[in-house]
């Protein structure tokens, strides 16, 4: 209390001036339409600026919810794409049925399941991602994973509860089939453990027409990834000594430094194809 009185005593003249100034402004704005309009305009500008900054701050804290809703909406749109369905072959049999089928759900071949990345590594020799979300219950080991731009990211290796572990492309044991978009030659993607955004495409013959900047995509030679998902672009090309193959360095399209959301690829054809392969192996 004593400090308050000392403050008033020290700044009595300034406080008196501010009080009288405020009264004057009030009287002028009250009895003069011109000054009233000018003061209201200035006040609106100030309050508008304040509310604008407040909205920017509030928008920042709403980004997580916005991102979640966008990923979910994108997942829904992905699952409506025509290429994710297989239509039945009716070239030999014609049937007339009075029952109208308004859904192609049973002919779907691929479903995209969104998930959030909760942990990731890029500095080790064996790098993994950990993803989480309600869709994890629909996932299984061996499913392919792509980032939000549909760039190849890795393969699920383990599932526990609401969490799944993904073997990243940046893993020394990762082996994914990929091909050159321009010519179609297929090879195998490996990581040498050096740069976290450079992987190697092996087993491409030396005579293959290839140049820096060419696109590398998933080959579709397995049920893990459909053909055409982006892997990256060619960064360097070397000729392997002692072999007839090229050693192609590819800059990954997926940004492993900043993965927030991913899409897991559920290919319905995986089970029957694997069953046929196992059956064929038994007859060898």
With helix as H, strand as E and coil as C, how does the chain read?
A: CHHHHHHHHHCHHHHHHHHHHHHHHHHHHHHCHHHHHHHHHHHHHHHHHHHHHHHHHHHHHCHHHHHHHHHHHHHHHHCCCHHHECCCCCCCCCCCCCCCCCCCHHHECEEEEEEEEEEECCCCCEEEEEEECHHHHHCCCCCEEEECCCEEEEEEEEEECCEEEEEEEEECCCCEEEEECCCCCEEEEECCCCCCCEEEEEEEECCCCCCCCCEEEECCCCCCCCCCCEEEEEEEEEECCCCCEEEEEEEECCCCCCCCEEEEEEECCHHHHHHHHHHHHHCC
Q: Is the pLDDT of residue 89 over 60?
A: no
pLDDT band, residue 180 (cuts 50/70/90)? very high
User: Burial code of 190-219, b = ≥16 C-beta within 10 A, e = fewer?
Assistant: bbeeeebbbbbbbbbeeebebeeebebbbb
Residue 46 has what pLDDT?
A: 64
Q: Is the pLDDT of residue 93 over 70?
A: no
Q: Is the pLDDT of residue 118 over 50?
A: yes
Q: Is the pLDDT of residue 109 over 60?
A: yes
Q: Is the pLDDT of residue 14 over 80?
A: yes
Rg (C-alpha) for the chain, rounded Å, is 31
Q: Is the pLDDT of residue 108 over 70?
A: no
Instruction: Tell which wins on pLDDT, 225 or 12.
Output: 225
Chain position carrying tokens 């590819």: 250
Greatest Cα pair distance, the chain, in angstroms, is 104
Residue 231: which of 265, 204, 197 has the closest Cα? Answer: 197
Note the pLDDT tens digit of each residue in 195-247. 889 999 999 999 899 999 999 999 988 889 988 999 999 999 999 888 899 99
Chain position carrying tokens 């059956």: 279
Residue 51 has what pLDDT?
A: 53
Residue 198 has what pLDDT?
A: 94
Q: Would you say 177 and 218 are in contact if contact means Cβ atoms under 8 Å apart?
A: yes
Average pLDDT of span 86-102: 44
Residue 6 has what pLDDT?
A: 77
Residue 213 has what pLDDT?
A: 94
Mean pLDDT of the chain: 80
Return the top range by mean pLDDT from 97-101, 164-168, 221-225: 164-168
The two tokens of residue 7 are: 């403050």
CA separation for the pair 140, 181 (Å, rounded):
29
pLDDT band, residue 125 (cuts 50/70/90)? confident
Q: Is the pLDDT of residue 99 over 50?
A: no
Least confident of 39-43, 179-183, 202-206, 261-265: 39-43
Note the pLDDT tens digit of each residue in 18-28. 888 878 777 77
Average pLDDT of span 99-112: 60
Average pLDDT of span 27-54: 63
Residue 180: which of 154, 208, 152 has the closest Cα? Answer: 208
Average pLDDT of span 266-282: 76
Q: Is the pLDDT of residue 264 over 70?
A: yes
Residue 101 has what pLDDT?
A: 45
How many residues appear in the chain?
A: 284
Chain position carrying tokens 């007859």: 283
Which domains can be identified in the chain, with CATH numbers?
Answer: 2-61 (no CATH), 108-268 (2.40.10.340)
pTM of the model: 0.65
């Amino acid at each position: 209390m004593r400090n308050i009185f000392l403050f008033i005593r020290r700044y009595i003249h300034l406080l008196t001036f501010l009080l009288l100034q405020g009264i004057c402004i009030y009287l002028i704005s009250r009895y003069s339409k011109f000054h009233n309009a000018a003061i209201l305009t200035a006040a609106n500008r100030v309050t508008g600026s304040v509310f604008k900054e407040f909205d920017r701050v509030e928008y920042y804290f709403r980004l997580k919810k916005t991102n979640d809703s966008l990923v979910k909406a994108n997942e829904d749109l992905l699952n409506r794409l025509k290429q994710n369905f297989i239509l039945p072959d009716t070239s030999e049999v014609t049937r007339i049925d009075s029952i109208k089928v308004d859904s192609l759900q049973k002919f779907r071949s691929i479903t995209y399941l969104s998930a959030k990345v909760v942990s990731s590594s890029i500095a080790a020799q064996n790098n993994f991602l950990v993803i989480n979300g309600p869709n994890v219950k629909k996932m299984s080991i061996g499913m392919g994973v792509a980032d939000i731009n549909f760039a190849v990211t890795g393969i699920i290796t383990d599932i526990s509860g609401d969490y799944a572990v993904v073997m990243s492309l940046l893993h020394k044991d990762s082996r994914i089939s990929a091909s050159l978009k321009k010519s179609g030659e297929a090879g195998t993607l490996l990581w040498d453990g050096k740069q976290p955004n450079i992987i190697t495409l092996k087993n491409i013959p030396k005579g293959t027409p290839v140049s820096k900047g060419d696109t590398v995509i998933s080959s579709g030679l397995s049920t893990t990834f459909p053909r055409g998902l982006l892997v990256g672009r060619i960064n360097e090309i070397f000729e392997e000594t002692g072999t007839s193959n090229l050693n192609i360095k590819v800059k990954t399209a997926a940004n492993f430094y900043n993965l927030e959301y991913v899409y897991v690829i559920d290919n319905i054809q995986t089970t029957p194809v694997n069953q046929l392969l196992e059956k064929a192996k038994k007859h060898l």
